[in-house]
Structure 1
Amino acid sequence: MSQQVIWITGASSGIGEASAYKFVNEGYLVILSARNREALERVKASSSNPGNCKVLSLDLIDQATFEEKTKEAIAAFGHIDLMLHNGGISQRSLIRDTPIEVDRKLMEVNFFGTVALTKALLPHFISRKSGQFGVISSLVGKFGSPYRSSYAAAKHALHGFFESLRLEHFNDHIAVTMICPGFIKTDVSKNALTADGSPLNEMDKAQENGMSAGACATEIFKALKHKKEEVYIGGKETMGIYLKRFLPTIFTKILRKSEVR
């Protein structure tokens, strides 16, 4: 029971899968969650120590199940030390073309699902006077981008929520690390919602040329281990954070001219 326990959502692919392998390699006990149980079983079997993994299927839209799912997660290894909120879905559609139902789905999965699961686990952290939330946001959680309006809005909202949580629960020794990846080579763009709610099924060029999921997972591990408040992971695109902060008008002009789809 001295081993640290991490619960990872969106663990069936991409950053979540790579993070699962990294934490297992580092000796953690890992709870793997996503909708696709078969994919989770594959990740477990592919890890360096399948015995240190537990599979717990979970759908971020089905929030009525979260209290019971959280009980199951805690029971898996007796406690949880760290929650890595990675589950979510991206977007590739213009505002004018996107019906409100698609906007609502993006908010429901990316924001409300994460918040609801946090609220289900928070009492466990409070009772133990210990715990950490790692939250996979995005660089567009810090600035807007064409074709990603409600995705960016949901990620912005996560920053507001978890920054408040960090302040409210400082005396409970609960840490929050906001993780903002840039272009990471995963299927996130393929699965992104288009205007009619269907997946894009295409890989972005920037995504294809981005940092590997494994390298990203290594950076995530370091950030969580050192309890960083906020980190930016990727290549030169991370400079957008500083351009937005110090040269916002110039940054806006750059974005207008960029091929960001």
Structure 2
Amino acid sequence: MRSNFLSATALKPPFSTAVVWITGASSGIGEAVALALARRGARLILSARRVDELQRVATLTGLPAADLLILPLDMTDVDSLPAHVETVRQRFGRIDYVFQNAGITQRSNVVDTDLAVYTRLMAVNFFGVVALTKAVLPVMLAQGSGQFVVTSSVAGKLGTKQRSGYCASKHALHGFFDALRAETYDAGLRVTLVCPGYIRTPISLHALGPDGQVHGKMDTNQASGMDPDTFARQLLSAVAQEKEEVYIGGAETYGIYLKRFLPGILSRILRKREGA
């Protein structure tokens, strides 16, 4: 049975008046998605750790105070997440979409990487995402509708040099959310996994090195990647169509198809490719 919310959206522009929670909203993909949704009339909850940057993005949205909530949070503080969900529910009464964009990457070979780096990557990229999902899930089940939009990566479908922990955390998201989709589809919930390629964001600047230090460099592929606003438009189109999985980027996304149909060729390409 179609949910009341998803049925209603057929009668008005996608996302109009929908309550949308965006994590990682202070920059990059999260910021671009927030601005695109604001233009479509959504009501937004903006979350990240940096309050000043959230306030900057909030101003750029142009939304009235009634349609906007700045909600700082740390994805690794999983015990605090249920209280944040209640704050959102009290403010807006429902949660229609959760766009999960918070994440960090790495630049280090396995042999050199401290275990603490892997722990940090999994805490932010996987366990934090799972914890927020579990906190939001009862709200969506009670209202009989809702959609989780989860930012994975091309690296969530294949493994590349110096990204071992990042790849592992993104691969894990696919297993978890494919299972969640199967469990909750008949209850009216939807799950969209998005695998970006190279998008022009600062994610490589904040990548973790072998001992957890910040990489501090903009990768060439990242700097020449897809514009975040273009990415956001394509993503929202896929979400409105309730696509289960979407690949957005340039030629690097073809690696996903090579992995599926010609894995040996992809393996040879990745072995010869330089790391960071």
Short-chain TM bin: over 0.9
Q: Please give the secondary structure, in 2, of the residue aligned with 1:198.
A: coil
User: Which residues of 2 match residues 78-157 of structure 1 at below 5 A?
Assistant: 78-157=93-172
Give the aligned residue type for 1:180: C
**In the alignment, is residue 35 of structure 1 matched against residue 65 of structure 2?**
no
Q: CA RMSD in A?
A: 1.2
The residue aligned with 2:26 is 12
Give the aligned residue type for 1:199: V
Contact 2:161-2:274 within 8 A present in 1 as well: no
The residue aligned with 2:11 is none
Give 1:46 shift.
1.2
Question: In structure 2, how many angstroms separate the alpha carbons of the residues matched to 1:50 and 1:103?
Answer: 41
Give 1:48 shift.
3.1
Contact 1:11-1:34 within 8 A present in 2 as well: yes
Give the aligned residue type for 1:31: I
Contact 1:81-1:130 within 8 A present in 2 as well: yes
User: Which residues of 2 match residues 1-261 of structure 1 at below 5 A?
Assistant: 3-51=17-65, 52-261=67-276
Question: In structure 2, how many angstroms separate the alpha carbons of the residues matched to 1:38 and 1:76?
Answer: 22
Contact 1:44-1:50 within 8 A present in 2 as well: no
Contact 2:94-2:143 within 8 A present in 1 as well: no
Give 1:219 shift.
1.2
TM-score normalised to the size of structure 1?
0.98
Q: Please give the secondary structure, in 2, of the residue aligned with 1:147.
A: coil
TM-score normalised to the size of structure 2?
0.92
Unpaired stretches in structure 2, ≥5 consecutive residues: 6-15
Give 1:76 shift.
2.5
Question: In structure 2, how many angstroms separate the alpha carbons of the residues matched to 1:122 and 1:240?
Answer: 33
The residue aligned with 2:10 is none
Give 1:75 shift.
2.1
Residues 130-150 of structure 1 show CA distances to partners (whole Å, capped at 9, x for unaligned) of: 010000000000001111101
Stretches (4+) displaced over 3 A: none
How many positions carry a matched residue from both structures? Answer: 261
Give 1:96 shift.
0.6
Give 1:50 shift.
4.5
Give the aligned residue type for 1:151: Y
Question: In structure 1, how many angstroms separate the alpha carbons of the residues matched to 2:235 and 2:62?
Answer: 19
Give 1:196 shift.
1.3
